[in-house]
Structure 1
Amino acid sequence: MRKRISVPLLALVLASLLVWPLCVLAQSEAVPAFKQLDSLEARVQGCVTCHGQSGQGTNNGYYPRIAGKPAGYLYNQLVAFRDGTRRYPPMNYLVAYLPDPYLREIAEYFAKLQPPFAAREPVTAEPAVLARGQKLVNSGDTGKGVPACVACHGNTLTGMEPGIPGLAGVRSTYIVAQLTRWRVGERHATEPDCMKRVATRLSDSDIAAVAAWLGQQPPPQNPAPESSNLVRMPFACGSQR
């Protein structure tokens, strides 16, 4: 004797059969929209949360300008954060499982951006401090074996291809922090580590002077990094390989 299917159960089965094709159709139509979200602009949202929508950096100096920096430099930093040779927990976690091609895409994306530079910082340093900073940046200190910053970072401080970053538009607090970390051995670059050689020859007051003077400079008319020029560089530098 066959069992009767209750009316409510039969209604549920029929409704399911009617709804199923609609669900399949809705999913197939949603795929293109999802693919549009899977763009590089969407993927870098984790970066722009801290570094600004166009990589322009923030006023507090802890999140530097990354827009327009050489792609090779940005890629090297992302790899260093991923592999733990450069330590900053939020960045280490963010890129921990990203493969090299993905990191290179991110680097090339921000290298192409050229948003306006932030306004100059208010003058707080004494004239003598700014004068010392200007000398170190433009001429160096031969007595200490410190080359001029412009010898590597470019005459207008916009960096040098492929791996030397621009200093224009970077807040003084960030410059102080990074030079100090290099000097005490917390930050490293590919050997030969030319920045380590420079930073270990700078005193606290030298670092403060360089950072203060750089923070007062107007934005460059042409923000593009200079072409590679190994001849003019005072030291061999692993970042330029």
Structure 2
Amino acid sequence: MHAAERPAVLPDTMQQRLLACASCHAKKDVNDAFFPRISGKPAGYLYNQLVNFREGRRQFPLMTYMVDYLPDAYLHEIAEHFASEHLPPLPARAADVAPAVLARGRQLAMQGDPAIKVPACIACHGDKLTGVAPSIPGLVGLPPDYLNAQFGAWRNKARRAREPDCMAVITGRLGMGDVAAVTAWLSTQQAAPDARPASAIARPLPIECGSAPD
């Protein structure tokens, strides 16, 4: 749009206010390792992440700069805005790994591994891995590089959540090979066009989680 075509006064809407966020996090055809799509994720999860950036539990300078002085009420508005949006899912990726690796990843996601005290991903993230309202995110549709980066951030304590930090505990129990296996398998899963977070999940969760309390 040319300068002469722009309105003299921009509309004071959440969509207009959050264009900077949407330019990275709400692209219809992109979901990359640094800026995952957040549209349609549970509002409680999005709010928790904004608070985590503001309070230093997550580390990314641009995000910290953007939310550093925003009050809780406005963070809730931002979270609700993006939670109400639903983008069509991106195609699943073909995994360039051995079948045995994918099989291990599927086992961890669908059944867990009692030997290392790791619950199945579906036990918390929903049987379709699309998340659970209000505060558990979906895992399908995320690129393996992003998922691997988050496991690395938990391992290096660059990403934390409210105590007890269940994902930090799970990450500490997984070897690097298991992390690669489960993220590879998750990236091959295709979300349905009408996929939404589940409204509820069986409680108690298999591991105590401060960001999704019973």
Same fold per TM (> 0.5)?
yes
C-alpha separation in 2, matches of 1:202 and 1:180: 11
C-alpha separation in 2, matches of 1:42 and 1:141: 46
C-alpha separation in 1, matches of 2:91 and 2:21: 22
Residue 232 (structure 1) shift? 5.0
SS of structure 2 residue aligned to 1:231: coil
Identity %: 48
What residue is the counterpart of 1:45 in the other structure? 19
Query: RMSD over aligned Cα, in angstroms?
Result: 1.8
Structure 1 stretches of 4+ with a deviation exceeding 6 A read none
When normalised by structure 2's length, the TM-score is 0.90
What residue is the counterpart of 1:23 in the other structure? none
Paired residue type of 1:81: F
Matched, 1:123 2:95: yes
* Higher normalized contact order (CA 8 Å, seq sep 6+, divided by chain length): 2
What residue is the counterpart of 2:82 in the other structure? 110
C-alpha separation in 2, matches of 1:166 and 1:95: 23
C-alpha separation in 2, matches of 1:122 and 1:90: 32
Larger Rg: 1
C-alpha separation in 1, matches of 2:172 and 2:68: 30
What residue is the counterpart of 1:227 in the other structure? 199
C-alpha separation in 2, matches of 1:59 and 1:220: 16
Which of 145, 154, 177 is 1:173 aligned to?
Answer: 145
What residue is the counterpart of 2:209 in the other structure? 237
When normalised by structure 1's length, the TM-score is 0.81
SS of structure 1 residue aligned to 2:153: helix
Paired residue type of 2:164: P
Gaps of 5+ in 2: 1-6
Residue 114 (structure 1) shift? 1.0
Deviates more, 1:84-93 or 1:205-214: 84-93
Higher helix share: 1
C-alpha separation in 1, matches of 2:99 and 2:193: 25
Contact 1:172 1:212 in 2 (8 A): yes
Aligned length: 207
Q: Kindly tell me: are residues 221 and 38 of structure 1, through their superposed partners in 2, closer, same or farther at Cα, counting changes over 3 Å? A: closer
What residue is the counterpart of 1:60 in the other structure? 32
Q: Kindly tell me: are residues 59 and 193 of structure 1, through their superposed partners in 2, closer, same or farther at Cα, counting changes over 3 Å? A: closer
What residue is the counterpart of 2:71 in the other structure? 99
Gaps of 5+ in 1: 1-31
What residue is the counterpart of 2:165 in the other structure? 193
C-alpha separation in 2, matches of 1:124 and 1:234: 31
Paired residue type of 1:46: A
What residue is the counterpart of 2:53 in the other structure? 81
Contact 2:95 2:185 in 1 (8 A): no
